[in-house]
Amino acid sequence: MIAIIDYHMSNLFSVRNALEYLGIDSEITSDVTKIMTAKGAILPGVGAFAEAMKHLKSLDLIQPIKDFVDSGKPFMGICLGLQLLLSESEEFGYTDGLGIVEGKVEKFENHENIRIVPHVGWNSVQKKNKMKRDIGIDPLSEVESGEYFYFVHSYYVKPVNEGDICTTTRYSSLEFCSSILMGNLFASQFHPEKSGEIGLKILKNFFRKREV
């Protein structure tokens, strides 16, 4: 069973529907016991960073998420679920994140050449770093550089360790990190569950091939 972590502001049902289509059992839950005993977990997300962190804190989910990542079981973050993994965000003033990935979340509006915010729609990704072999699976094994995925966001992540970046995407003159891979953790700014067959392949590779 894959736990889809419910912190009361996420785009949950499209993720569940995508897993159901792939024949992967999942449950939307904020129950710590169910999350910790799951074979894998997904932190989805749509909304504001600071509000999301407040919800995670009020539901006592911050330490369980860190413990789950430390357990070595597959963990995926999607959109805001990627951003929350970083150390801090500058959205509406600085807010501490989960600190699982060292780095910060910055806004597109900092870049004068970016006129349209949010970044919404289909855009391509470029594979930048060789995938880590310690997890035994490459979630992007069936994805070629130049493939298109669906994005909707006004902020982007800037990891300290460039080696954690597995894809980048160009928006206007800015090339930003669009996904990271760190051991058993994969997280993307794009929505694989809304990106058609190519997005479904990422979910399948990351979860089903691990026999979860």
Q: Which residue numbers are catalytic?
A: 79, 191, 193
Cα separation values, 161 from 62, 101, 104, 165, Å: 22, 9, 11, 8
| CA 74 to chain centroid | 12
Element (H, E) at 4: strand 2-5
Q: Match 């003159």 to its residue by tokens.
A: 173
Tell me the one-letter amino acid at 60: D
CA-CA-CA-CA torsion sign (106, 14, 171, 202)? positive
CA-CA-CA-CA torsion sign (69, 73, 79, 80)? negative
